Structure 1
Amino acid sequence: MKLQTRIPQIKATCPIDYDSRVFVVGSCFSENIGKKLAHFKFRSFQNPLGILFHPVAIENLITRAVQNSHYSDKDIFLMNARWQTFEAHSSMGEVSKEQLLRRLDQNVRATRLQLEQATHVIITLGTAWVYTHVASQQIVANCHKVPQKEFSKELLSVDTIVDSLKNIVNQVHGLNDRAKFIFTVSPVRHLKDGFVENQRSKAHLITAVHEVIENENINSAVYFPSYELLMDELRDYRFYDSDMVHPSTLAIDYVWERFKLAWISPSVFSVMDEIDTIQKGLGHRPFHGDSEAHLNFKKLLQTKIEKLRQSYPFMNFEG
């Protein structure tokens, strides 16, 4: 009996392994993938300016990184006792403008370094709806609770998204022509825009990504169907969190498993299993931390870590 529609997936010809360097950027679903990569100790770098929901915001980050562009006083503002920039998520805010400028520049420099070394760039697009700050005519990454009257709202056209994605790919390849791109559209529904408006937005993103992949002769870019996996394979509200918008932990684990089967090299599955065992052990909270049994458990765990680091010295299990 068949109880589920299955989306066919093609195995990657250049899968991720422990020699890979993965750059992850985009909407909040990219955080889920990034956390999984970090959990299994892949060399990954995630959302240096926080969550970025739309392609223009991601393009702005890549452009700054490639051009080594520094932030200045004109790029930041004070809101609710914290300094912010329209180019980053609110989580980047700082109490002093010097701290914010320093943090932004550090993260952009780190972005350039990561892009120069990246074997895989994963970009998750969340929405095609954008807000333009009327006074500056800047499309913002985040409104930071600035009054709504100071912005105009529009839906990016497919052509605009295509141009933005092509610019991202071309700029990265100017630094590193070996990088492979994995595009995906977030299954998180932006219902504050409206139900129909959310579907229009996702349609624009999906259409634009496939136009870039199929019509621009960019052989290094592919599409991973995270949106379709939740919409078509997991068609049930039990796969959503309590807000009925974000994927549940079970759904995230399911999509990760599908990503793993398509994009992670089977040669490292056993290493991932060993790392998962270690991570669960490190997360264990004993009733009697000074017992002999627990001390022996910790010693065995440390032995496993040291053995693993002999093959993968970059792995850090502290903190």
Structure 2
Amino acid sequence: MNFRTQIPIPKNQNPIDYNSKIVSLGSCFAENMGAKFEYFKFQNKTNPFGIIFNPVSIEKIIDRVVSEKPFTEEDVFFQNEQWHCFEVHSDVSDSSKEKLLQNLNQILVETKKQLQEATHLIITYGTSWVYRNIERNTIVANCHKVPQKQFAKELLLVETIENSIQNTIELIKKINPDCSFIFTISPVRHLKDGFVENQVSKAHLFSALHGTFDFRLSTFVYFPSYEIMMDELRDYRFYGEDMLHPSQTAIDYIWERFSESCIAENSFQTMKEVAEIQKGLHHRSFNPDSEQHLKFLSKLNQKIAVLAEKFPHIKF
């Protein structure tokens, strides 16, 4: 007997392998998947400007990258003893205005190069709810704990999201016409917006993505992260302590489903070898100077050398 429904996921016709170069953008779930790529030593860059939840802000930062529009003093502000930029996450903020601008513009240059070289771009949308800074009349990626009265909260229309998705693709295609796209919707529920409001928000993202493409016919790929969490993992044991974010078990499971769908089968053996090395590197011996442990380290280094010969970009 089968006590759950499993979502059918078609195989990606252009799967990821160890020669692929991946850029992942979007919500905190993009960070979860990015950590998996890092663990298995794929060539991956995740959220160079930090976590960005909404489609308009993702489009805006990609537009800045592609058009090489540098950040200036007009783009930053001082709040709570830090300099911030409304277009990026607070992880990038700095106590020095000069250092912040220097860092932002360095990331700008590096990100364009990464997007130009990317074989796959993975975009994870988190929410349709956005905050518009009233003074600047612009949608922000992050409020940086600026007082709420300085913002107006809005729900992006489906048509607005569709246009944003299409613009994002066209921008990337300008600098990298061969890039493959994988879209997904974050399984993290934004219940601070409200239970009903979260559902409406996700519904707008679904409608926009599936209104933009017929994924059955399109070369663009849709991976059902949200659907897996809501259907296959419909139990609170698969959530973290906040009952909103997926637990590590859930992340591991969604990664397995992603691997089955979007990673080339000829990479599975390499992934297994990488995992064995990672476990070995994290092993702690009771007697580090023992002959047995020294032999273990020697074998481990041999495995690393063999793997590095096949894939020079893999570093441990």
Cα drift, residue 288 of structure 1: 2.4
Cα drift, residue 139 of structure 1: 0.5
For 1:38, what is the secondary structure of its paired residue?
helix
In the other structure, the counterpart of 2:260 is 261
In the other structure, the counterpart of 1:171 is 171
Pair 1:267–1:245, CA change in 2 (3 A): same
In the other structure, the counterpart of 1:244 is 243
In the other structure, the counterpart of 2:156 is 156
Whole-Å separation in 2 of the counterparts to 1:258 and 1:64? 33
Identity percentage over the alignment? 52
Q: Which amino acid aligns with 1:292?
A: E
Q: Please, which runs of 5 or more residues in structure 1 have no aligned partner?
A: none
Contact conserved, 1:26 with 1:53, CA < 8 A, in 2? yes
In the other structure, the counterpart of 1:18 is 18
In the other structure, the counterpart of 2:195 is 195
Alignment partner of 1:4 is 2:4: yes
Note the alpha carbon deviations across 1:113-167, whole angstroms, 9 max, x for none. 1111111110000000000010011100000100000000000000000000000
In the other structure, the counterpart of 1:30 is 30
Contact conserved, 2:12 with 2:221, CA < 8 A, in 1? no
Whole-Å separation in 2 of the counterparts to 1:101 and 1:240? 38
Contact conserved, 1:189 with 1:246, CA < 8 A, in 2? yes
In the other structure, the counterpart of 1:276 is 275
Whole-Å separation in 2 of the counterparts to 1:148 and 1:298? 55
Cα drift, residue 95 of structure 1: 1.4
Contact conserved, 1:61 with 1:108, CA < 8 A, in 2? no
Alignment partner of 1:126 is 2:126: yes
Cα drift, residue 311 of structure 1: 0.7
Whole-Å separation in 1 of the counterparts to 2:61 and 2:44? 17
- TM normalised by structure 2 equals 0.98
Q: Which amino acid aligns with 2:9?
A: Q
Whole-Å separation in 2 of the counterparts to 1:81 and 1:220? 47
Q: Please, which runs of 5 or more residues in structure 2 have no aligned partner?
A: none
Whole-Å separation in 2 of the counterparts to 1:251 and 1:35? 14
Whole-Å separation in 1 of the counterparts to 2:37 and 2:311? 15
Contact conserved, 2:240 with 2:247, CA < 8 A, in 1? yes
Cα drift, residue 218 of structure 1: 8.8
Cα drift, residue 2 of structure 1: 1.1
Whole-Å separation in 2 of the counterparts to 1:71 and 1:220? 34
Q: Which amino acid aligns with 1:205?
A: L
User: How many residues are paired up?
Assistant: 316
**Counterparts of residues 201-216 of structure 1 (less than 5 Å):** 201-214=201-214
CA RMSD of aligned residues (A): 1.3
Pair 1:136–1:42, CA change in 2 (3 A): same
Q: Which amino acid aligns with 1:74?
A: E
Contact conserved, 2:53 with 2:126, CA < 8 A, in 1? yes
Q: Which amino acid aligns with 1:211?
A: G
Alignment partner of 1:97 is 2:90: no
Whole-Å separation in 1 of the counterparts to 2:125 and 2:13? 23
Note the alpha carbon deviations across 1:174-210, whole angstroms, 9 max, x for none. 1111111111000000000000000000000011011
Whole-Å separation in 1 of the counterparts to 2:154 and 2:276? 47
In the other structure, the counterpart of 2:83 is 83
Alignment partner of 1:46 is 2:51: no
For 1:45, what is the secondary structure of its paired residue?
strand
Alignment partner of 1:224 is 2:223: yes
Note the alpha carbon deviations across 1:232-279, whole angstroms, 9 max, x for none. 111100000010000000000000000000000001100000000111
Q: Which amino acid aligns with 2:206?
A: I
In the other structure, the counterpart of 2:135 is 135
Contact conserved, 1:26 with 1:58, CA < 8 A, in 2? yes
Whole-Å separation in 1 of the counterparts to 2:285 and 2:89? 37
